[in-house]
Structure 1
Amino acid sequence: MKRVFNFNAGPSPMPLEVLEGMKEDLTNFKNTGMGITEISHRSKEFQDMLDETKALLRQLMNLSDDYEIVFIQGGGTMQFLMTGYNFLHTRAAYADTGVWAHKARNSAAFFGEVYNANSAEDKNYSYIPDTCEIRPDTDYLYICANNTIYGTEYWKFPEVDVPLIADMSSDILSRKIDFNRFDMIWAGIQKNLGAAGVALAIIKKDLLAKARTDIPEFLQYNIFVKKDSTYNTPPVFCIYSLNRMLHWIKNMGGLTAIEERNKVKAKLIYDVIDESDGFYKGHAEKASRSRMNVTFNLANADMEKDFVAKAKENDFIGVKGHRLVGGLRVSLYNAVTPEAAETLAEFMKEYERVNG
């Protein structure tokens, strides 16, 4: 079986050993005589799996008992809507670090006043601003922890006196941080933690107590907590894929080991960029560089198109930059192996030798 080097920005690769291990469960999950996509979400087998998934998250993230964990369909777009609908009472602050923060802010604007607490637009979102201006009566500050399009990532989180909500879709469980400092974390799982189709939301109980209850039930976080993510039929397979990925992370040595692995991968690619004497031009400022998404340019669009074509010929998939900014992008999510990053780094060096 041929496997390519998958550097897509999402959905992204899953470890081959995880995929291989899922085969039996597709036809006979827990000796039920039914596959994981066939079992009832009201069954004991599903409930046990759901409980285990939440327990693994709590363990790996070292979460206190102050948090509820729910799983919601609709991906990031639904979370852009729900965060504002539930928690925006007067006004909300958004850290302006790129497209996904814009989308969240614009969705929340349907429900109240929103404003930028800062902005990196002046340098084409190539850095993470180090200050936030919070206005009186602000309900929360919303940040996007890792910006996939521009290749920037928070290495120091804001210190503010209002609830902090973080979209961690593209760097969740890629490194060890204090997750308990956030009032809410949400993430689509399809980059680091499983198959596309569900977002996990981790919400502090104190924040939940402030959530609106005069809105449609399906858009209330408290309803998902009350119904234990089964208000309607949940995305069973997606939650199962998350469960398998959490076991894999635990078996790899937890977040400490995963972080070291991700450091190695990012360094391999950034070193090629930094040592290319300008042949490769990184977009993000060094202090704000993402480990998950390495963004860079070549001399012109034609050369970038050629790079993508030559990369595909060598089984490197997904290295074209986002359509909004162009250029090139290498995504190095948890399941991307160090060997894949090393092989790509060698390809980049050879491409520079031939075309430089």
Structure 2
Amino acid sequence: MTTSADRNRHFDRLVNTEGLKWLGQNTNHYPVDPSVREAMVRCLDKEEFHAYAPPLGLEALRAGIVADLGLPGMEAMVTDGAVSGLYHVCHTFCRPGDRFITTDPTWAWPMSFARAAGAEVIQLPIYGDEYGFRLDPQRLREVVDERTRVIYIVDPNNPIGSTQTEAEIAEIAEIARSVDAYLIHDCTYRDFAFDHHFAALHYPEKTITTWSFSKWLGFAGLRVGALVAAPDVIETLAAAPPNNLGSSILAQRGALAGLEAKSRWFPGILENQRGNQRLVKEAFDALSGFRIPVFPSNGNFLVVETVGAGVRPEALCAVMARHGIMIRQGSYHTKTFGDRFIKVSVSVPTEWVEAFCRLLPEAVEEARGINEDIALF
């Protein structure tokens, strides 16, 4: 049995592997705008880190987040990455006997947080042509009841890359209101989407929008995200947060500069990652048996089905790792459908993607010969 220490050693090896090509964690590895780095250097030079940051975040950053998302009347609470905010929401609002409803696939950690708070987790499958790779609101309507405390949707979905339509979001919001449930709308990947719609515009009183600076700005290691909700919901969350002494002042200064530079810097990032998506698709199209079910993706990643090619996802991940390329196996995201696919992240330098594509035919053949169990995280 693998342990948390095994998992930590695995990621410690990754972080300390010089030259590793990160095509597995949806992290953004493009250089930041110079103004972002300059803001953080100024923070270090002034040694601002001796003081605690405001508990809800720098006021300028809070306002900038709400403005960037276009959610007037809402308030932002800056968190130690979006995952810290999700932990806080689940532990604040989930109680023993409650129901927490989400999709399959979804992001796994909020399910763990809800279970730890005593809630029952219900997953609605969305992977497959029969589901259209997204949540049909009618299927959600059939499972909600008076015990439903939280509905959690990742939109765009990680790992699929699909998005809900505006009509679907409006109906999901109406369903949440009908049972007085909190609706967590995880919008981590919205900046990469071709089209995206906020549930908070339809159900402002109990929708909690989560957002991250890890993906679009590339701040994964700096840990800064946000919860955005109605003022009374933020007031409830502010009563007993995991960190009541404020998130990293260094990360917040950089995030604020990132918002200010976003309009001139991010369009190039978006164009490059979409170009990388096309390179990956072309590489798999040249091989037999592979399928990319959602293309183009509304995230900075692609799901690639491997079953038709007779390749186990874990085996292909292991071969790529031997060559210094990290990709993700489907079982990280879903136990039900994880044996069908790998995930390839593309908000990375194009030369990393080109290296992956060059290696792919050889790696596929090598992976076909691997049958032993492989421990991946």
Q: Do Structure 1 and Structure 2 share a fold, with TM-score over 0.5?
A: yes
Structure 1 residue 201, shift from structure 2 partner: 0.9
**Paired positions, count:** 316
- Residue 77 of structure 2 corresponds to 70
- Residue 318 of structure 1 corresponds to 326
Matched, 1:237 2:250: yes
- Residue 190 of structure 1 corresponds to 214
Structure 1 residue 70, shift from structure 2 partner: 0.9
Matched, 1:16 2:35: no
- Residue 344 of structure 2 corresponds to 330
Return the letter of the residue paired with 2:213.
I
Using the alignment, how far apart are the partners of 1:129 and 1:118 within structure 2?
8
Instruction: Give the direction of change, closer, same or farther, for the CA distance of 1:79–1:15 in structure 2 (3 Å limit).
Output: same
- Residue 59 of structure 2 corresponds to 51
Return the letter of the residue paired with 1:168.
C
Matched, 1:295 2:309: no
Question: TM-score when scaled to structure 1?
Answer: 0.68
Deviation per residue, 1:106-146 (Å, 9 max, x gap): 422454654526234789x9933323135233444211224
Deviation per residue, 1:150-183 (Å, 9 max, x gap): 43433435422224312233x1422352334362
- Residue 46 of structure 2 corresponds to 34
Deviation per residue, 1:237-290 (Å, 9 max, x gap): 222332233234221366xx7655544332332243234332x344xx337955
Matched, 1:252 2:275: no
Using the alignment, how far apart are the partners of 2:227 and 2:191 within structure 1?
14
Deviation per residue, 1:58-101 (Å, 9 max, x gap): 3332221x21111123751x434322333347844422223624
Return the letter of the residue paired with 2:225.
A
CA contact (8 A) 1:68 1:204 kept: yes
Instruction: Give the direction of change, closer, same or farther, for the CA distance of 1:121–1:271 in structure 2 (3 Å limit).
Output: closer
- Residue 218 of structure 1 corresponds to 241
CA contact (8 A) 1:128 1:152 kept: no
- Residue 155 of structure 2 corresponds to 145
Structure 1 residue 318, shift from structure 2 partner: 2.3
Using the alignment, how far apart are the partners of 1:300 and 1:253 within structure 2?
36
Return the letter of the residue paired with 2:244.
Y
Using the alignment, how far apart are the partners of 1:33 and 1:304 within structure 2?
42
Aligned residues with identical type, % of pairs: 12
Using the alignment, how far apart are the partners of 1:143 and 1:270 within structure 2?
27
Using the alignment, how far apart are the partners of 2:161 and 2:231 within structure 1?
30
Ranges in structure 1 where 5+ consecutive residues have no aligned partner: 220-229
Moved more, 151-160 or 231-240: 151-160
Using the alignment, how far apart are the partners of 1:269 and 1:98 within structure 2?
22
Matched, 1:108 2:134: no
Instruction: Look up the SS of the partner of 2:135 in the other structure.
Output: coil
Return the letter of the residue paired with 1:59.
A
Instruction: Give the direction of change, closer, same or farther, for the CA distance of 1:231–1:274 in structure 2 (3 Å limit).
Output: same
- Residue 227 of structure 1 corresponds to none
Structure 1 residue 202, shift from structure 2 partner: 1.0
Structure 1 residue 17, shift from structure 2 partner: 4.3
Moved more, 195-204 or 112-121: 112-121
Instruction: Look up the SS of the partner of 1:217 in the other structure.
Output: coil
Using the alignment, how far apart are the partners of 2:156 and 2:320 within structure 1?
25
- Residue 276 of structure 2 corresponds to 265
CA contact (8 A) 1:60 1:250 kept: no
CA contact (8 A) 1:144 1:167 kept: yes
Instruction: Look up the SS of the partner of 1:69 in the other structure.
Output: strand
CA contact (8 A) 2:134 2:162 kept: yes
Instruction: Give the direction of change, closer, same or farther, for the CA distance of 1:247–1:212 in structure 2 (3 Å limit).
Output: closer
Return the letter of the residue paired with 1:119.
P
Structure 1 residue 56, shift from structure 2 partner: 3.1
Using the alignment, how far apart are the partners of 1:17 and 1:112 within structure 2?
41
Using the alignment, how far apart are the partners of 1:121 and 1:178 within structure 2?
21
Matched, 1:118 2:128: no
Instruction: Look up the SS of the partner of 2:46 in the other structure.
Output: coil
Instruction: Give the direction of change, closer, same or farther, for the CA distance of 1:253–1:40 in structure 2 (3 Å limit).
Output: same
Instruction: Look up the SS of the partner of 2:241 in the other structure.
Output: helix
Return the letter of the residue paired with 1:251.
R
Return the letter of the residue paired with 1:108.
A
Question: TM-score when scaled to structure 2?
Answer: 0.65
Instruction: Look up the SS of the partner of 1:153 in the other structure.
Output: coil
Ranges in structure 2 where 5+ consecutive residues have no aligned partner: 1-17, 177-181, 333-337, 369-377
Instruction: Give the direction of change, closer, same or farther, for the CA distance of 1:108–1:218 in structure 2 (3 Å limit).
Output: same
- Residue 168 of structure 1 corresponds to 187
Instruction: Give the direction of change, closer, same or farther, for the CA distance of 1:287–1:5 in structure 2 (3 Å limit).
Output: closer
Instruction: Give the direction of change, closer, same or farther, for the CA distance of 1:281–1:344 in structure 2 (3 Å limit).
Output: farther
Matched, 1:128 2:134: yes
Instruction: Look up the SS of the partner of 2:211 in the other structure.
Output: strand
